[in-house]
Amino acid sequence: MAVFVDDPAGNSDGRALRKILARLDIVGDTATVHRVPAWRCLAEPEQVATELSEHLHRLRTGTTGL
């Protein structure tokens, strides 16, 4: 699983974000990509960690969690 933390305060032309998204497209063929807004990581780190842990558990066990 790849985790990408979106940071809208990145460089103004968006070049860095486009490079990262292109890399995630490549990784996405072989791994699950999970995007998380930066503000959530700062405001509710425990919740984000729990969600990522649950997502990883579902990937390992093959359950959908629905």
Residue listed under structure tokens 């959908």: 64
Task: Establish if 12 belongs to a structural domain.
Answer: yes
What is the pLDDT confidence band of residue 26, given thresholds at 50, 70 and 90?
A: confident
Q: Is 36 part of a structural domain of the chain?
A: yes
Distance (Å, whole) CA 45 – CA 56? 16
Q: Can you say whether the dihedral through the CA atoms of 52, 49, 38, 27 is positive or negative?
A: negative
The parent domain of residue 32 ranges over 2-61
Residue 66 within a domain: no
pLDDT value for 38: 87
In a domain, 32, yes or no: yes
Q: Which pLDDT score, from 0 to 100, does residue 12 have?
A: 66
Band (10; pLDDT cuts 50, 70, 90): low
Give me the percent of the chain exceeding a pLDDT of 90: 23
Q: Say how many domains are in the chain.
A: 1
Is residue 30 assigned to a domain?
Answer: yes
Average pLDDT, whole number, for the chain? 82
Question: Is residue 51 pLDDT above 70, yes or no?
Answer: yes
